[in-house]
Amino acid sequence: MNFDDTPQEAAFRETARKWVAANAPKEFEQELSKSSLGRIRLAKHDMVEVGKAWQKKKAEGGWACLHWPKEYGGRGATPIERVIWQQEEGVYGKLTQPFQIGEGMCGPTVMAWGSEDAKRRYLPKLAAGEEIWCQLFSEPSAGSDVAGLRTRAEKKGDDWIVNGQKIWTSGAHYSDFGLLIARTDPNVPKHKGLTMFFLDMKSPGVEVRPIKQANGMQEFNEVYFTDVVISDSQRLGAVGEGWSVSLTTLMNERMSIGSRLATGVPELFEFCSNLMLEDGLAIDDPAVRSKLASWAVKSSGLKYTSYRAISALSKGERPGPENSIGKLVSGMMLQDIATYAMDLQGAAGVLTGADEETVHGQFQQMLLSSPSMRIAGGTDEILRNIIAERVLGLPGDIRVDKDVPYNKIPTKGR
Amino acid sequence: MNFDFSDDQKQLRDQARKFLTEKCSPKTVRVVLDGKAPYDKELWKGLAEMGFLGVAIPEEFGGAGAGHLELCVIAEEMGRANAPVPFSSTVYLAAEALLIAGSDAQKKKWLPAIASGEAIGTLALFEGKGNPAPKNIKLTAANGVLNGVKKPVADGAISDFAVVAARTGSSGRDGDISLFLVDLKAGGVEVKSLTNLDPTRGQAEITFKDCKAEPLGAAGEGWSILTQVLDRAAVLCAFEQVGGSDRALEMGRDYALDRIAFGRQIGSFQAVKHMLADMYVSATLARSNSYYGAWALSTNAADLPEAAAAARISATQAFQHCAKNNIQVHGGMGFTWEFDCHMYYRRANAMALGLGSLSYWEDQLIDHMRKKNAA
């Protein structure tokens, strides 16, 4: 048991470290270090533009999407080298946020299912950050039950005509392309009538509308399709095979290892170390210590779980399903920690202003944003099902709609 | 990074599992549970023959001279099997105290006897309610004799010797405490068995009356040695708790697959699935924290006190969580004496207190995190 790199890993780390030191946009270092929770904002610059510049530089140096093959814009690196790169990229990794959906989900799907022409045309530009991709899966009536989606694609000659609506699309407003799953046959059971496409987000009939969220912010979008024309050459996989294609996308989402999830523990620890209660510092209070300790060991448990996964990668093994616990644990923690930190503030905990003396509304923001952590990318309940079924081997749910043609499934409003 | 046990260590774990599956079935655990024997003597002998008792004891003192990582994988299996033997008191507490502070003569006398299974040892620390703290130690040592009462003492009634924490000063500082080594068969002690939550591991009250004792470690160093012993034992116990958590989770999972109600396996109901998924989450976090504790223990890292506290808290919570929900998954059958669920429930809750309760370890963790943050 050790935390040392192998000689090859150490050499790779050294190369990466030197490159980052010589090329990173250091003017943003401080701002990026400070924003640990939620989305990144830069005071005087557009996040997407700064991100694009960094991504382009990385691509030129051979550090973009480095686990991808070279001919598609990557470096042909091993999974463990990718993890080492993420560690060395450090805070600048936050600048890759606009490209994460493309790199983590859309790109791998194009790579697995696209034609050679499509791969050579789209992947290098995606890797270099020249073109941003978004993912068009969720719908107002199809969240956890994404296979129940309604957006229709109908064949007309060599083209497909798309009508419908997607929701919760991150970055749709600045994306160039989108990965779209649509229903092409409503007469067969729901999983069998889906087909995957990609499309130009500037196509006529595509309308992007920001969603005002429960926390008052606008980070996601609704995307409406009205008679949008997509060429059949933009289909990924066979007609009716969209569900299998989507599994490639979703599997890749769960493979992102080594990315540290925010838990709120460092923030709470600092807060309690400075907060004066009536009998002294909060951190000297036994009740506070007990809560803090319970959360701290969850946070360290997640950290060391990811170390175990990295070790598996380092040995060339595929990491186990234990990685599915990360978001489940950290999502609930963020919400609970926010609630507790506000409770410690007493009546003043209700105030959210950035000029309030106690930590400037930090935990109040965390409270308002945290519900999304427990929903996006698989709800807590879906994650528990995944653990129960794929890790523990328990039976799947009885699915009353499994063998029923899609258009015979009872739904609200039809 | 290789944050995992080596192939040899995993092989040792498999060997221990195979041995314990054969020699330590729930049926044999029940012999002790039902009070028909104070511990499983045959199993103890077998553990000695396998070299498990002395795995972390150097060869010059009769052990296998492997190390603490090897001891961790064996501990996990002991917990999984719910072994009814004085393993934790003898190996994690008494042997570790000797390794840290014993003189050459003391090590030569007791360590080979531990490794061969001839001597059972324990740590006599607690005096009634309360967590480990110098102020809670009232038993006195003067002129080479001890006077006072220790309880609860794990496996005290079957121990041949004890490491005893005694008061040798009254300054109110940690330096008031010194450790002593007592041969419990040599007179001056009165031992009484106490009923306890987990009858598969006994608890006792030991009264020392002008009992002859030899110092273990320097005078006034007792508290500092004790905290080191407790940190080491916390990591090793955490592995037992991780093994117990996994076993309780497996029992629940197997029952959920087997039991039919409302015309289907109860494991197909989300309420049951999610309960088991949450048990898996607890057990996984505990395992990962314990691995870090194992690394810190085996390298004697400066981080050991923090790592030990984190492993202790996480593994204690996981074992309690898994053991209690294992009963819940089993429904009424889980509340029968006949089913094994309660053995893990008892062990989980007894282990949660053995080295001091959660609040002690929470204090340790926060204190060490603060120190690190300040540095």
Kindly state the DSSP code that residue B369 receives in the 8-state scheme. Answer: H
Q: Is the pLDDT of residue B20 over 80?
A: yes
Residue B355 pLDDT level (bands cut at 50, 70, 90): very high
CA of B41 vs chain A CAs: smallest distance (Å): 34
Residue B38 pLDDT level (bands cut at 50, 70, 90): very high
Q: Is the pLDDT of residue A258 over 70?
A: no
Residues of B in contact with A398 (CB under 8 A): 264, 268
Q: Is the pLDDT of residue A35 over 70?
A: no
Mean pLDDT across chain A: 91
- For A36, residues 6+ apart whose C-beta sits below 8 A from its C-beta are A262, A266, A267
Residues of A in contact with B356 (CB under 8 A): none
Mean predicted confidence (pLDDT) in B347-357: 97
In this complex, which of A270, A308, A310 lies closest to B291 when CB atoms are compared? A308
Mean predicted confidence (pLDDT) in A262-271: 92
Greatest Cα pair distance in chain B: 74
Interface check A67 vs B, CB under 8 A = no
pLDDT number for residue A33:
82
Residues of chain A numbered 251-270 and touching chain B (CB < 8 Å):
269-270
Pairwise CB contact (< 8 Å): A293 & B276: no
Pairs of CB atoms within 8 A across A/B: 159
Mean predicted confidence (pLDDT) in A333-357: 89
Sign (positive/negative) of CA torsion B75, B78, B80, B84?
negative
Q: Residue B299: is it exposed, middle or buried by C-beta count within 10 angstroms (0-12/13-18/19+)?
A: middle
Q: Residue A191: is it exposed, middle or buried by C-beta count within 10 angstroms (0-12/13-18/19+)?
A: middle
Which one of A5, A267, A297, A299 would you mutate to disrupt binding with B, by most B Cβ within 10 Å of its Cβ?
A: A297
**Rounded alpha-carbon distances, angstroms, from residue A200 to A184, A197, A384:** 19, 10, 36
* Cα–Cα dist B131/B127, whole Å: 9
SS3 per-residue string spanning chain A: CECCCCHHHHHHHHHHHHHHHHHCCHHHHHHHHHCCCCCCCCCCCCHHHHHHHHHHHHHHHCCCCCCCCHHHCCCCCCHHHHHHHHHHHHHHHHHHHHHHHHHHHHHHHHHHHCCHHHHHHHHHHHHCCCCCEEEECCECCECCCHHHCCCEEEEECCEEEEEEEEEEEECHHHCCEEEEEEECCCCCEHHHCEEEEEEECCCCCEEEEECCCCCCCCCEEEEEEEEEEEEHHHEECCCCCHHHHHHHHHHHHHCCCCCCCCCCHHHHHHHHHHCEECCEEHHHCHHHHHHHHHHHHHHHHHHHHHHHHHHHHHCCCCCCHHHHHHHHHHHHHHHHHHHHHHHHCHHHHHCCCCCCCCHHHHHHHHHHHHHHHCCCCCCHHHHHHHHHHHHCCCCCCCCCCCCCEHHHCCCCCC
* Cα–Cα dist B69/B75, whole Å: 10
Q: Is the pLDDT of residue A253 over 60?
A: no
CA of A314 vs chain B CAs: smallest distance (Å): 7
Residue B239, helix vs strand vs coil = helix
**Rounded alpha-carbon distances, angstroms, from residue A89 to A7, A76, A123, A302:** 20, 18, 22, 21
Kindly state the DSSP code that residue B134 receives in the 8-state scheme. Answer: G
* Cα–Cα dist B116/B125, whole Å: 25
Pairwise CB contact (< 8 Å): B1 & A1: no
* Cα–Cα dist A331/B348, whole Å: 28
Residues of chain A numbered 313-352 and touching chain B (CB < 8 Å):
314-315, 322, 325, 328-329
Return the amino acid letter for A30: Q
Looking at B259-330, list the stretches that DSSP marks H as alpha helix, in order from N- to C-terminal side.
270-299, 304-330
Residue B19 pLDDT level (bands cut at 50, 70, 90): very high
CA of A345 vs chain B CAs: smallest distance (Å): 20
Kindly state the DSSP code that residue B60 receives in the 8-state scheme. Answer: G
Six token digits for residue A140: 């107002």
Measure the CA angle with vertex B29, ends B255 and B17; round to 5°. Answer: 70
**Rounded alpha-carbon distances, angstroms, from residue B11 to A46, B49, B74:** 55, 17, 11
- For B263, residues 6+ apart whose C-beta sits below 8 A from its C-beta are none
Residue A377 pLDDT level (bands cut at 50, 70, 90): confident
Mean predicted confidence (pLDDT) in A298-315: 89
- B196: nearest Cα among B86, B349, B43, B31: B349
* Cα–Cα dist A134/A176, whole Å: 8
Interface check B375 vs A, CB under 8 A = no
Residue B253, helix vs strand vs coil = helix
Residues of chain B numbered 229-268 and touching chain A (CB < 8 Å):
249, 253, 256-257, 264-265, 267-268
* Cα–Cα dist B39/A87, whole Å: 51
Catalytic residues of A: 253
Residues of B in contact with A388 (CB under 8 A): 267, 273-274, 276-277
Pairwise CB contact (< 8 Å): B285 & A305: yes
Pairwise CB contact (< 8 Å): A290 & B359: yes
pLDDT number for residue A260:
66
Q: Is the pLDDT of residue B178 over 70?
A: yes
Q: Is the pLDDT of residue A257 over 60?
A: no
SS3 content of chain B, % helix, strand, coil (to 5): 60, 15, 25
Return the amino acid letter for A192: K
Mean predicted confidence (pLDDT) in B130-159: 97
In this complex, which of B69, B309, B365 lies closest to A1 when CB atoms are compared? B69
pLDDT in tens, B56-112: 999 999 999 999 999 999 999 999 999 999 999 999 999 999 999 999 999 999 999
Interface check A307 vs B, CB under 8 A = yes
pLDDT number for residue B127:
98
Interface check A292 vs B, CB under 8 A = yes
Six token digits for residue A246: 């989507």
pLDDT-wise least confident of A31-40, A198-207, A275-284: A31-40
- A146: nearest Cα among A239, A252, A246, A224: A246
Return the amino acid letter for B1: M
Sign (positive/negative) of CA torsion B137, B138, B144, B150?
negative
* Cα–Cα dist A169/A228, whole Å: 17
pLDDT number for residue A411:
80
Pairwise CB contact (< 8 Å): B276 & A392: yes
Q: Is the pLDDT of residue A372 over 60?
A: yes
Interface check A116 vs B, CB under 8 A = no
Residue B338 pLDDT level (bands cut at 50, 70, 90): very high
Start-to-end Cα distance in chain B: 26
Pairwise CB contact (< 8 Å): B359 & A398: no
CB A392 within 8 A of CB B253: yes
Mean predicted confidence (pLDDT) in A318-347: 88
pLDDT in tens, A39-71: 667 888 898 999 999 999 999 999 999 989 999
Six token digits for residue A365: 């923001």
pLDDT number for residue A315:
84
pLDDT number for residue A39:
60
Pairwise CB contact (< 8 Å): A307 & B288: yes
pLDDT in tens, A110-132: 999 999 999 999 999 999 999 99
Interface check A392 vs B, CB under 8 A = yes
In this complex, which of B289, B298, B359 lies closest to A301 when CB atoms are compared? B289
Q: Is the pLDDT of residue B364 over 70?
A: yes
Mean pLDDT across chain B: 97
CB A260 within 8 A of CB A299: no
For the entire predicted model, the pTM comes to 0.94
Whether the bond into A189 is cis, omega within 30 of 0:
no
- pLDDT above 90: percentage of residues in chain B: 98
CA of A293 vs chain B CAs: smallest distance (Å): 5
Interface check B302 vs A, CB under 8 A = no
Kindly state the DSSP code that residue B142 receives in the 8-state scheme. Answer: E
- For B143, residues 6+ apart whose C-beta sits below 8 A from its C-beta are none
pLDDT in tens, A272-291: 999 999 999 999 999 999 99
Q: Is the pLDDT of residue A254 over 70?
A: no
- B365: nearest Cα among A291, A368, A155, A203: A291
Residues of A in contact with B288 (CB under 8 A): 300-305, 307-308
pLDDT in tens, B265-288: 999 999 999 999 999 999 999 999
* Cα–Cα dist A220/A185, whole Å: 29
The residue of chain A with its CA nearest to that of B252 is: A392
Residue A355 pLDDT level (bands cut at 50, 70, 90): confident
Total Cβ atoms within 10 A of residue B46? 18
Half-sphere exposure of B344 (CA within 13 A, CB side): 35
CA of A246 vs chain B CAs: smallest distance (Å): 25
The residue of chain B with its CA nearest to that of A297 is: B310
Interface check A290 vs B, CB under 8 A = yes
Q: Is the pLDDT of residue A413 over 60?
A: no
pLDDT number for residue A38:
56
Kindly state the DSSP code that residue B269 receives in the 8-state scheme. Answer: S
Q: Is the pLDDT of residue B320 over 80?
A: yes
Interface check B277 vs A, CB under 8 A = yes
ipTM surpasses 0.90: yes
Q: Is the pLDDT of residue A356 over 80?
A: no
pLDDT number for residue A48:
92
Mean predicted confidence (pLDDT) in A146-162: 96
In this complex, which of A3, A296, A392 lies closest to B3 when CB atoms are compared? A3
Residues of chain B numbered 169-228 and touching chain A (CB < 8 Å):
none
